Structure 1
Amino acid sequence: MGISRTADAVAAGHTGAAITVEGLAKHYGRSVAVEDVSFSVRSGAITGFFGPNGAGKTTVLKVVSGLARGSAGRVLVNGRETHARDAGTLGAFIEPCGAHPGRAARAHLRSLATMAGLPGARVSEVLALVGLEQDARRRVGRYSLGMRQRLGLAAALLADPDILVLDEPTNGLDPQGIRWLRTLLRERADSGRTVVLSSHSLTEAERLVDDVVVIHQGRIVHQAPMGAIAQGGSTLEDIFLNLTGGEDA
């Protein structure tokens, strides 16, 4: 059975923008990573942020998450411009998971919870949520890539944020893990929360996302609801390749 997209989630998506990016630029000396990037992410929806390697996806997501400063432009989260994102408002997982390889997963999450002023009980809750409770005392250096992905997701979920920003969250997950993540994110969006994710797995993402944003060579080249793409007879892969030069238009 497919994962339903409830009427409540659709209604929530029209209440306003959870994230608004206006004229964002990021320069590293004379090198331009992104230029004049503008797009919006609606509340209560899953927005896929797609682009080829080097297109600027991770740079934009870092600025949106407050992990980097833009060189120009601004980012509004729930209508407010802020450079220090509140963990209860926005949680981010931008690779890698950030844990020291010699440290246990539980200890890593406890440190993050303490810094955020969260109760210790929340650590056990997120470990159970991501399926790491049996491996919580293992050193992170002995984790598989998929387990490290789950740990990064646990850290992003610690404060139970309204908005999740995830960079390649399915990387390293097996089919069971991908289905688990798909269900988790769909349930959050259906409850009125917001998810932004990047992925190179376009076929998998097509099953999940409500809205699509495509970036190419540091600029936004497309934004549309996934439903409009499907109604036009195209796949997400078709749109992506046509816009980014992967095939002749």
Structure 2
Amino acid sequence: MEISRSAGTSTAGQASAAVTVEGLAKHYGRFTAVEDVSFSIRRGAVTGFFGPNGAGKTTVLKMISGIARASAGRILLNGLDTPARAAGTLGAFIEPCGAHPGRSARAHLHSLATMAGLPGTRVSEVLALVGLEKDARRRVGRYSLGMRQRLGLAAALLADPDILVLDEPTNGLDPQGIRWLRTLLRERADAGGTVVLSSHSLTEAASIVDDVVVIHRGRIVRHAPMGAITRGGATLEDVFLSLTGGEGA
């Protein structure tokens, strides 16, 4: 079944949310990766989306971002039936940066900007934002993992999107890079933007997320503000492990 989206039937609650997911499902033949997933993500917040390996979290993020097509369900962005990759709506870093190893970071971003109809000046802006301006003309094949992560973030930020979806963005970043990214995401959320963050590092994520969504075996098992998650002295890791039977993140 092709995904069905209808802006005309959105409720006031859906319209006020940055992302609304209703009854989302993804099937691969007889295998069900995600079933009846529903949740909403509010504007002006960093939402942590967590789950064990194989729980379906990356599949859900790909469907929200328009990388994968849902088998059933509905996704609204800012309350509307907006194509996920429309410039200015959503930026995603879910897979490797995708740059050819023989090309420079600047050339890669220029290609993306041209395809999106963005001005070339935006390339220099995002290179500076992610700290790659001095290495912009180096071949990507010579980049470290952390530098490739920064390039992927630059691509996601290229259109200055309202909604930012990031899957394991801290992989390969050193402590300085992790602090830089945490500050960047906090500033975007405080300015009214929306950040959806998936990470294996629950301790690190706990320092920045405002809301938490936990998926387990293809279904949502918890959706609550961070304050409710940690009420009574529990840690995010404690709650996550109790919800997922002690399986790894």
> Fold match, TM over 0.5?
yes
TM-score (norm 1): 0.91
Contact (CA 8 Å) 2:84, 2:90: kept in 1 or not?
no
How do 1:149-168 residues align onto structure 2 when only pairs under 5 Å count? Answer: 149-168=149-168
Supply the AA of the counterpart residue of 2:145.
L
User: What is the deviation of 1:111?
Assistant: 0.2
**2 CA distance for matches of 1:192 and 1:89?**
13
How do 1:215-226 residues align onto structure 2 when only pairs under 5 Å count? Answer: 215-226=215-226
**2 CA distance for matches of 1:89 and 1:25?**
23
Corresponding position of 2:48: 48
Q: 1:185 aligned to 2:185?
A: yes
Supply the AA of the counterpart residue of 1:86.
A
Q: 1:208 aligned to 2:208?
A: yes
Q: Which runs of 4+ in 1 moved over 4 A?
A: none
Supply the AA of the counterpart residue of 1:72.
A
**1 CA distance for matches of 2:133 and 2:192?**
27
Q: 1:147 aligned to 2:147?
A: yes
Supply the AA of the counterpart residue of 1:89.
T
**2 CA distance for matches of 1:159 and 1:151?**
14
TM-score (norm 2): 0.91
Supply the AA of the counterpart residue of 2:19.
I
How do 1:28-67 residues align onto structure 2 when only pairs under 5 Å count? Answer: 28-67=28-67
Contact (CA 8 Å) 2:106, 2:136: kept in 1 or not?
yes
Corresponding position of 2:125: 125
Q: Which runs of 5+ in 1 are unaligned?
A: 1-14
Corresponding position of 1:8: none
**2 CA distance for matches of 1:31 and 1:83?**
27
User: What is the deviation of 1:92?
Assistant: 0.5
**2 CA distance for matches of 1:197 and 1:165?**
6
**2 CA distance for matches of 1:120 and 1:25?**
38
**2 CA distance for matches of 1:120 and 1:64?**
27
**2 CA distance for matches of 1:147 and 1:166?**
16
Contact (CA 8 Å) 2:77, 2:84: kept in 1 or not?
no
**1 CA distance for matches of 2:176 and 2:87?**
28
User: What is the deviation of 1:231?
Assistant: 2.4
**2 CA distance for matches of 1:113 and 1:82?**
20
Supply the AA of the counterpart residue of 1:99.
A
Identity of aligned residues (%): 85
Supply the AA of the counterpart residue of 1:88.
G
Corresponding position of 2:76: 76
**1 CA distance for matches of 2:118 and 2:76?**
25
SS at structure 2 position matched to 1:80: coil
The Cα offsets for residues 29-76 of structure 1, whole Å up to 9 and x where unpaired, read as 111110000111001100000000111111000000011110000111
**Alpha-carbon spacing, 1:203–1:84, altered in 2? closer, same or farther (3 Å):** closer
How do 1:94-109 residues align onto structure 2 when only pairs under 5 Å count? Answer: 94-109=94-109
The Cα offsets for residues 93-114 of structure 1, whole Å up to 9 and x where unpaired, read as 1121111111110000000000
Supply the AA of the counterpart residue of 2:100.
H
SS at structure 2 position matched to 1:62: helix
User: What is the deviation of 1:80?
Assistant: 1.2
Corresponding position of 2:9: none
The Cα offsets for residues 135-163 of structure 1, whole Å up to 9 and x where unpaired, read as 10111111111000000000000000111
More displaced stretch, 217-226 vs 85-94: 85-94
Corresponding position of 1:88: 88
| Residue-pair matches, total | 233
**1 CA distance for matches of 2:38 and 2:123?**
36
**1 CA distance for matches of 2:233 and 2:88?**
39
**2 CA distance for matches of 1:182 and 1:208?**
7
